[in-house]
Amino acid sequence: MELLPITTPVLKAGDDLASILMSAGDIADGDIVVVSSKAIATVEGAAIHLDDVTVSSEAAQLGEAHSKPGAYYQVVLDETARMNGKVIQSVSGIVLTELKPDGMKEGSILVPNAGLDQSNVKEGHVIGWPTDPVKSAKKLREDLGGNVGVIVTDSGLSPRRKGVISFALTVSGLDPFASMIGKPDLFGNAMSVTEEAIADQLATAANFIMGNTNQSTPAVIIRGHDISMNDFSGWVEGIEREKDIYHGVI
């Protein structure tokens, strides 16, 4: 399997992302294109100017507690509410949020700051996810044409683990999971519970190439894989809180 970076000029609102990716990368039939959610949000004009934000008392208190602009935390609170979520806690200026976006049938997403970021965006702005990441993934796949898949990603954290990883928000053109149930292990024992998180693993592998600073590599091509392609488009769903091994811990 090959992972091929797509390096582009700095993206801006109104850019034709599919055309830019096709010009900068040799996307072929059967490829999976892993793309940053922030890249899509940028071209869709989803960046938010903090000067335009009305700050509530709750956001102001968070700002004072963590020495950051209250407007930033207001956007975090607004995005959390928009995605049917709630604030779990805040540590070292980072707000852990649990989100249940419209269309997500099972589980929720635990993510810092409701997916918002102040990096790779103009000063005084914040950027989060596309307004509808499922629609965005499907449209990008259609615009790229051919038999390709799309994975929309964001960076996040794992419990008790140091450092940033990436995870898949939405996919189009492939299943995000592959069940190993019933398949034999090295000793012939049938697997009973294992389900491979295909999209998440590809997201993290691609993010290692994309980087999180000034690489200007918003997408990576996954080529030479044996993943079945189909017409599925949707959120990469999770598990309900009561079934989560971390339930009661976070």
Two domains, one topology: 1-45+131-238 and 47-128: no
Query: Which residues are registered as beta bridge partners of 3?
Result: 222
Mean pLDDT, residues 97-119: 95
Selection from 136, 22, 127, 18 nearest residue 79 by Cα? 127
Q: Which of 51-55, 83-87, 244-248 has the lowest mean pLDDT?
A: 244-248
Give the model confidence (pLDDT) of 211-223 as tens digits: 888 889 999 999 9
In sequence order, the 6+-apart residues with CB closer than 8 A to the CB of 5 are 25, 209, 210, 215, 217, 219, 220, 221
47-128 to CATH, choices 3.30.420.10, 3.90.1660.10, 3.30.1540.10, 3.40.50.1980: 3.90.1660.10
Amino acid identity of residue 68, one-letter, is K
What is residue 194's predicted lDDT score, i.e. its pLDDT? 81
| More confident site: 141 or 211 | 141
What is residue 151's predicted lDDT score, i.e. its pLDDT? 99
Domains of the chain, by residue range, sit at 1-45+131-238, 47-128
Sign for the pseudo-dihedral over CA of 224, 226, 227, 231: positive
DSSP letter at 69 equals -
Q: Give the global pTM.
A: 0.94
How many C-beta atoms lie closer than 10 Å to residue 157's C-beta?
16
- Classify domain 1-45+131-238 by CATH number: 3.30.1330.100
Return the percentage of the chain with pLDDT > 90, whole number: 86
Distance set, CA 35 to CA 73, 96, 182, 194, 201 (Å): 26, 24, 33, 27, 14
The conformational region for residue 9 under phi > 0 = left, psi -120 to 50 = alpha, else beta, is: beta
What is residue 195's predicted lDDT score, i.e. its pLDDT? 87
What is residue 71's predicted lDDT score, i.e. its pLDDT? 98
What is residue 29's predicted lDDT score, i.e. its pLDDT? 96
